[in-house]
Structure 1
Amino acid sequence: MRPSTLLSLALAAAPALVSASTRGTLGFSLGDKTADGKCKTTSDYETDFDNLKDLATLVRTYSGTECDTPQNILPAAKKKNFKVVLGIWVGAQDSDDTSTNDASFKKDFAALKKAVPGYEDVVEAITVGSETLYRGDQTGPSLHNYIGLVAKQFKTITVGTADSWNKFADGTADDLFTRDTEDAPLVTYVLANAFAYWQGTTAKEAYKTYFDDMSGAMAHIQKVAGTNSDKIHVINGETGWPTDGGSDYEAAKAGTDNAETFWQTGVCGMLAWGVDLFYFEAYDESWKPDSTGDNGKAMDEKHWGLMTADRKVKFNTTCPY
């Protein structure tokens, strides 16, 4: 099936959680370290934004304490007219534990309480947890309790979460959309991560998997949320493809040409569908050590950037539709 044909079918069957009449907004995942592994300063973020501004004015981060990210990025965002999604990390706890005492959460939450006042206008949202359901660190109800604490603190800022698309599609996250109380309000900001690459799909076929995954997550949320579904904003929280120098994963082959193929068919198609998305990631992070993938092999994570570590665009980003 040609990409244009798939796009037409997707637009015709788009869940109510997206608007086919409005083009999606592109954002980027942004690391907090320079190429040599040093923490970024406000000046570094300003340079990052200057290089991204022709493509996007929205970025997302992951931690409230690592590298003092909020303290450094928020002044830069305000100066350069960018919006930032801030992250609060939530670690593991016993499945029967309903408390909100996770140490990483408490540290990140405290950091945001200090950093955000005065910068509310540049905070697009706050996400509580990053793939914590996927890792099995939290249950839906326990994560919901953490989100509720943050929502109570930041009453004028949208608060949500980020997780793998399949945790939204398989019911793991249902509590976020079916319980609406003072302590655990309805979660209306959802970042669903979807990587066709990590499903071992070829670059030419990846857009099909990508659309299917996002459609599955959105359709399930719409079903369980019922009449509240029109309040929920589902965004693709992460997607991307490793370029030259990266690691292959089954039939998914790293390479700049393949990354461009996925951008042109998958990323551009998703934006045309009306879905907001964050590309992972803005810049190569050459400081990253290799990690072990699900297949037990060493995986290079240094070459996922749309741009090189010295901020040069790797391929044509003009969308065909």
Structure 2
Amino acid sequence: MLSFKLLGAIAAFTSALLTKQAAQSFCIHGINYNPRIGPDWAAQGQQCKSAADIQADMETLYQVTGSVRLYGLGDCDQVSRVLPAAINTGLSVSLGLWVSGDEAVFDAEFSRLQTLIQQHSSLFSGGSIVDIHVGSEAVYRKEITAEENIAYLQRVKALLAAYSLASVPVTIAEIGDVYLAHPNLIDAVDVVQANGFPMWEKIAVENAVQYFDTRMQPLYQQAAALGKRVEIGETGWASGGSSPKASEASPVNAARYFYNFFQMAQARNLPFYYFEGFDEEWKITASNATVEGYFGLFHEDRTLK
């Protein structure tokens, strides 16, 4: 695995410079990936990465992880462009179906999933696709209710069962607090996939991981009582930019949060997908918070931070 210079930043904590000499080798459970390079209103060819860039991204991520997490099948045609590139590179995939307030969006994602199962069922039975998350914070965004999201999940589970793939775990990616507010979500999923960002709660970086772990304790306990494991779908810290709603973003703070979170997750045997693989600088102009563009472990040019 690649030596990760962010860990070196912690060893030489007083400097924002990340050096190879201070680095440690590592491998993390998983990383979130988005093939977007522009918003929906961008010109043709300026919304999504090329096939060559996606392949290069997968090869880069393979050096530091064994799994990638995708948010949807249709956006940027991920089902036929990102999914094969990841699997052919040797990465497993946590597969997402995008959910919004428009039921037609889910119906289209469901149809793509059905076609994928019909044409490539071995990806599911053979372990290349490790789980499916039906929606990413759609309840948190108040686009749908917990009950509606559960109904979508049940449709996916029924589809898998119809093709003798009931062993594939199906979940809903949500903020930990949303799971706690809607315990029927915990009942419905096969594995609890929870997201949490202390940075967006303006927690000081030195306290952030302890805060995260404490906030998740009730969820760990409720999931364990039902015999279900918890995995973290998203967490991270930006290395640049700013937002009045967030803690300070800097290379050292990003490194410190990553290192502390990695150590906590290792101690807890807690699987997690870090947010995210690469910076997305297009978000800087599409968002009021410039930090949105700098959550990557890698710069856009695939150099490690």
Q: Do Structure 1 and Structure 2 share a fold, with TM-score over 0.5? A: yes
Aligned residue among 167, 171, 180 for 1:160: 171
- For residue 312 of structure 1, what is the aligned residue in structure 2? 303
Aligned 1:1-321 pairs, distance under 5 A: 26-34=29-37, 37-92=46-101, 102-116=103-117, 117-118=119-120, 119-120=123-124, 121=126, 122-155=128-161, 156=165, 157-169=168-180, 171-172=181-182, 174-178=183-187, 186-222=188-224, 226=225, 229-230=226-227, 232-244=228-240, 246-249=241-244, 252-290=247-285, 298-314=289-305
> What TM-score do you get using the length of structure 1 for normalisation?
0.75
RMSD: 2.3
SS at match of 1:154: helix
SS at match of 2:282: coil
Report the CA distance shift for 1:198/1:251 in structure 2 as closer, same or farther (over 3 A).
Answer: closer
Report the CA distance shift for 1:250/1:109 in structure 2 as closer, same or farther (over 3 A).
Answer: closer
Taking every aligned residue pair, what percent have the same amino acid on both sides? 27
Aligned length: 264
Report the CA distance shift for 1:298/1:25 in structure 2 as closer, same or farther (over 3 A).
Answer: closer
* 2:192–2:223 CA contact under 8 A, matched in 1: no
Deviations 1:179-201 (A, max 9, x none): xxxxxxx4112210010101101
Report the CA distance shift for 1:290/1:220 in structure 2 as closer, same or farther (over 3 A).
Answer: farther
CA distance in 1, matches of 2:222, 2:139: 16
Q: CA deviation at 1:65?
A: 0.9
Q: Could you say which structure has the greater relative contact order, defined with CA pairs below 8 angstroms and 6 or more residues apart?
A: 1
Q: Which moved more, 1:270-279 or 1:43-52?
A: 43-52
- The structure whose residues are more often helix, as a share, is 2
CA distance in 2, matches of 1:257, 1:68: 35
CA distance in 1, matches of 2:303, 2:266: 23
Identify unmatched segments of 5+ residues in structure 1.
Answer: 1-23, 94-101, 179-185, 315-321
CA distance in 1, matches of 2:252, 2:73: 35
Deviations 1:158-197 (A, max 9, x none): 211100111112x32x12334xxxxxxx411221001010
